[in-house]
Amino acid sequence: MSVRKIVEYGTPSLREPSKEVHKVSSKIKTLIKDMLDTMYVNNGVGLAAPQVGENLRIFVIDVSTNDEPLNPMVFINPKIIKKSGLMKGDEGCLSFPQAYTEVWRYKKVMVKALDRNGRSFVLEADGDLLARAIQHEYDHLDGILFVDHATNRFAADEVLAKNNLPPVEVDKMIDIPEGESEDGSASSEEGKE
């Protein structure tokens, strides 16, 4: 087992876009194993490669609860191919120790990716922790952080200050998508990234 150090908010590499993985080599497989170990040790639901200092398009997720068997999911070179509806809810991030704030997310997402064996798969998540985690981790690969989606910037700033983290970067904040309503009744967006 190999646990890697988690990069904290304020480190410039967390804002850099990550590169595609060209081959699921043994080095990549080791990185994935380490990412899973690191996620589990820190009781996380997801972890993206840039959070362990590797700017590569890989993230891992496990949304199983304590009384369920582990269910590690690996996403390599993911693409969100469909997204629709909106939901809001509290979120945290292993790169933001102890800081939770309410953010906007799409309710429904469809993601296409390669698994740890390099095989392609498509997965749909709707209104649950998995949908939230996919969007959160996917964002990390483009240097986007959960606080960029905060429903209330001032509340987010308060939480960040309380945990000795830098404030929200206002120029990085993302507007609520137009034409979407909170209850998810609005039109769907396809393939927009």
Report the interface residues with Zn ion, using CB under 5 A. 93
Whole-number minimum distance, CB 119 to Zn ion, in Å? 25
Catalytic pick from 54, 91, 137, 180? 137
**b/e string for 100-120 if b means 16 or more Cβ within 10 A?**
ebbbbbbbbbbbebbebeeee
Q: Is 54 an annotated catalytic residue?
A: no
DSSP-based three-state secondary structure for 79? strand
Whole-number minimum distance, CB 56 to Zn ion, in Å? 15
Whole-number minimum distance, CB 143 to Zn ion, in Å? 12
Q: Are 36 and 4 in contact (CB under 8 A)?
A: no
Task: Tokens 């509290």: give the residue.
Answer: 90
Query: Left, alpha or beta for 183 (phi > 0: left; psi -120 to 50: alpha)?
Result: alpha
Catalytic residues: 137
